[in-house]
Amino acid sequence: MRHVVFNQKGGVGKSTITCNLAAIGASLGQRTLVVDLDPQGNSTRYLLGAGADDAGAGVAEFFDQTLKFSVRSHATSEYIVESPFDHLHVMPSSPALEEMHSKLESRYKIYKLRDALAALEADYDAIWIDTPPALNFYTRSALIAAEGCLIPFDCDDFSRRALYALLENVQEIQADHNPGLKVEGIVVNQFQPRANLPQRTVQELVDEGLPVLQPYLGASVKIKESHERALPMIHLDARHKLTQEFVALHAALQQASAPAKKRSAKAA
């Protein structure tokens, strides 16, 4: 299953959600890949730690080779590195992504990531794609390459207003490029159950029939330690309340995707 974590708003927890869900899957023995399309490289640093500086070829080199005509095409696996965690690999980001964005867009290389990740289906049980906080070439590439889309939501009115436009953008990608893309749901992040505004805001989304996922992810200073130590929560503190919320969310996503997998197997 290929998942994209997408929101045009920054600071809503895309990298945190991507890496923690991927790490949980890997801890269960699932062969897992994280593709970091954000030039800031937060997912890369979260999963590789100090090794991020010497990660070698990654997403930027993959896209760079799509711009060049070559008799010998490079295997996508050449742009993937191992993380310190069993079963978890990373296609690392680079600031060079920023520089090549306009060239990739003008050359319309929008389907290259989809083709590359589809070729890796036999190698991985799950692929998680982290995206930049913008609807640009990289985000569109990810939405075209993915089968499921998760939307982080951080419980404020600005996020809620942006959510409707975001859902329209996803629907446009579905209609024009990827009819198989499914909105898996809205991931409520940094939720404070005792505060009135988050409760009311999330309940309004539920009342409108939007696909709000359970459980909600709570706010915790522990996540900052997790970032600093480059240890996803399942490896930092498996018993922590936030870790268990991530585990439950991962299980819910697995359960929801199981019927789709069965239908695909029968069709084949």
pLDDT per residue, tens digit, the chain (268 aa), is 999 999 998 889 999 999 999 999 999 999 999 999 999 999 999 999 999 988 889 999 999 999 986 545 678 999 999 999 999 999 999 999 999 999 999 998 999 999 999 999 999 999 999 999 999 999 999 999 999 999 999 887 788 888 999 999 999 999 999 999 999 999 999 999 888 888 999 999 999 999 999 999 999 999 999 999 999 999 999 999 999 999 999 999 999 887 555 545 554 4
- Of 40, 126, 133, 35, the C-alpha closest to 87 is 126
- Of 231, 212, 214, the C-alpha closest to 223 is 231
Could you give the angle at the alpha carbon of 3 between the alpha carbons of 67 and 162, nearest 5°? 90
Could you give the angle at the alpha carbon of 220 between the alpha carbons of 217 and 226, nearest 5°? 100
Question: Which phi and psi (to 5°) does residue 218 adopt?
Answer: -80, 170
Burial of 185 from C-beta contacts in 10 A (0-12 / 13-18 / 19+)? buried
- Take residue 250 and report the two structure tokens written for it: 């991962």
The CA distance from 45 to 52, in Å, is: 5
